[in-house]
């Protein structure tokens, strides 16, 4: 493995995908890992509690928009790799407060790139050759697909339709520009919808698992026909490692799960699994809890990822198909009630009430 013993800086490593990546990396590599995270609502140090006492793990609280802080971290820890997860990522929140997404996703990425460029320019020749800046992005930058359209490829034109997607598209363009203008050795990955342990429970899959468990309504936007490609989070982490090890500098790699599903079908599968794992006669079949609500403004119809490039060039492919990964995910949430309660703050409950409970039933 390249850079196996070098320090790595991860931004947003206490979030859902970031924390899974930190755990994945430290199970396989030996160097120090610095985790810079602002610890907002979606960042949870409890995700990484298993690393307590591991001297390789260095958690730091701070904002990627703080240039002086970022510069000091780079000078002190001298990472060979930067993996940039830190982002506001929930579409509904971007509709309610787009400014926060511009601040973190655009300004934050710019600040990180600028400090990385300055740091990289001062490295010796061997260190400069080894250095990589990997930017983690989303398939939502490509816009939406009709039912019979081919899946997104790395050459699909950008057409973001939400403030979140637009902010990520802007950050992708900045990363590309820093490579072509300054020569910064960057890599970009665009992934499909992730699911798995430690996902904040305002997202579709954990929200439906927990509501189904408790016998609460299962709010489904529109008629539930929107399609997403689902990627198990640990498969995503393995793909990022493959890109860091073997990816061509300046390239973009799409990462998908080859698992397109309608939202309604996902919810029904969750109902079946919760019924299987935790039958409750008082609640009855959980699919009775499905409640169609007013659709999200500008809701993209379909996302699908063509991941043939990363398979062809780097040999990566997802190890779990959706049904197996979802079974593992439902099981994890049912067995980790303490973690769930730790993230269900009053602010979280207020958001769920505003975004789901106050929507007009269809």
If DSSP states are collapsed to H, E and C, what string results for the chain? CCCCCCCEEEECCCCHHHHHHHHHHHHHCCCCEEEEECCCCCCCHHHHHHHCCCCCEEEEECCCCCHHHHHHHHHHHCCCEEEECCCCCCHHHHHHCHHHHHHHHHHHHHHHHHHHHHHHHCCCHHHHHHCEEEEEEEHHHHCCCCCCCCCECCCCCCCCCCHHHHHHHHHHHHHHHHHHHHCCCEEEEEECEEECCCCCCCCHHHHHHHHHHHCCCEEEECCCCCEEEEEEHHHHHHHHHHHHHHCCCCCEEEECCCCEEEHHHHHHHHHHHHHHHCCCCCCCCHHHHEEEECCCCCCCCECCECCHHHHHHHCCCCCCCHHHHHHHHHHHHHHCHHHHHHHCCHHHHHHHHHHHHCCCEC
As a dihedral over the C-alpha atoms of residue 264, residue 266, residue 271, residue 275, rounded to 10 degrees, the angle is 150
* 349 pLDDT tier (thresholds 50, 70, 90): low
* 344 pLDDT tier (thresholds 50, 70, 90): confident
Which residues lie closer than 8 Å to 35 by C-beta, 6 or more apart?
Answer: 10, 13, 14, 18, 22, 48, 57, 58, 59, 60
The whole-number average pLDDT for the span 192-199 is: 97
Q: Phi and psi at residue 237, in whole multiples of 5°?
A: -60, -40
218-221 and 186-191 as β-strands: parallel, antiparallel, unpaired?
Answer: unpaired
* 354 pLDDT tier (thresholds 50, 70, 90): low
As a dihedral over the C-alpha atoms of residue 237, residue 170, residue 149, residue 250, rounded to 10 degrees, the angle is -60
Strand partners, 174: none
| pLDDT of residue 244 exceeding 90 | yes
What is the distance in angstroms between the CA of the first residue and the CA of the last residue of the chain?
53
State the burial class of residue 100 (Cβ atoms within 10 Å of its Cβ: 0-12, 13-18, 19+).
middle
* Predicted confidence (pLDDT) per residue in 118-136, tens digit: 999 999 999 999 999 999 9
Fold of 8-200+232-258+302-322: Rossmann fold (3.40.50)
d(CA 212, CA 278): 10
pLDDT at position 353 is 58
What is the distance of C-alpha 267 from the center of its chain?
20
Cα–Cα distance list, 153 to 142, 189, 328 (Å): 9, 11, 29
| pLDDT of residue 153 exceeding 60 | yes
Give the length of the chain: 362
| pLDDT of residue 305 exceeding 50 | yes
Q: Which of 49, 8, 44 is nearest to 133 (CA)?
A: 8
* 331 pLDDT tier (thresholds 50, 70, 90): very high
- Tell me which of 41-45, 50-54, 112-116, 163-167 is least confident: 41-45
d(CA 220, CA 356): 9
Active-site positions read 139-140, 164
């Amino acid at each position: 493995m390249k850079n196996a013993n070098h320090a790595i800086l991860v931004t947003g490593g206490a979030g859902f995908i970031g924390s899974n990546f930190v755990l994945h990396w430290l199970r396989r590599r030996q160097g120090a890992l610095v985790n810079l995270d602002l610890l907002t609502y979606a960042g949870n140090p409890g995700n990484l509690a298993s690393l307590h006492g591991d001297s390789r793990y260095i958690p730091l609280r701070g904002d990627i928009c703080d240039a002086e802080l970022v510069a000091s971290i780079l000078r002190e820890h001298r990472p060979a790799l930067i993996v940039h997860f830190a982002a506001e990522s929930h579409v509904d929140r971007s509709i309610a407060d787009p400014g926060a997404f511009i601040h973190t996703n655009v300004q934050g990425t710019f600040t990180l790139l600028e400090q990385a460029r300055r740091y990289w320019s001062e490295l010796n020749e061997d260190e400069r050759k080894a250095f990589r800046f990997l930017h983690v992005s989303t398939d939502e930058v490509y816009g939406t697909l009709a039912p019979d359209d081919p899946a997104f490829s790395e050459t699909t034109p950008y057409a973001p339709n939400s403030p979140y997607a637009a902010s990520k598209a802007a950050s992708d363009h900045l990363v590309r520009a820093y490579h072509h203008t300054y020569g910064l050795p960057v890599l970009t990955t665009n992934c499909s919808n992730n699911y798995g342990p430690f996902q904040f429970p305002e997202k579709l899959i954990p929200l439906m698992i927990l509501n189904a468990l408790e016998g609460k309504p299962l709010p489904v936007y529109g008629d539930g026909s929107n399609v997403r490609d689902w990627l198990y989070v640990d498969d995503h982490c393995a793909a990022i490692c493959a890109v860091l090890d073997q990816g061509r500098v300046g390239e973009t790699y799409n990462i998908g799960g080859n698992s397109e599903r309608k939202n309604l079908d996902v919810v029904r599968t969750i109902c079946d699994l919760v019924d299987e794992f935790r039958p409750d006669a008082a609640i009855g079949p959980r699919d009775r809890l499905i409640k169609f609500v007013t659709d999200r403004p500008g809701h993209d119809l379909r996302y699908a990822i063509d991941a043939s490039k990363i398979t062809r060039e780097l040999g990566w492919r997802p190890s779990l198909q959706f049904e197996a990964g979802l079974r593992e995910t439902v099981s994890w949430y049912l067995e980790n009630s303490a973690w769930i309660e730790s993230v269900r703050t009053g602010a979280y409950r207020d958001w769920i009430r505003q975004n789901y409970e106050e929507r007009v039933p269809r």
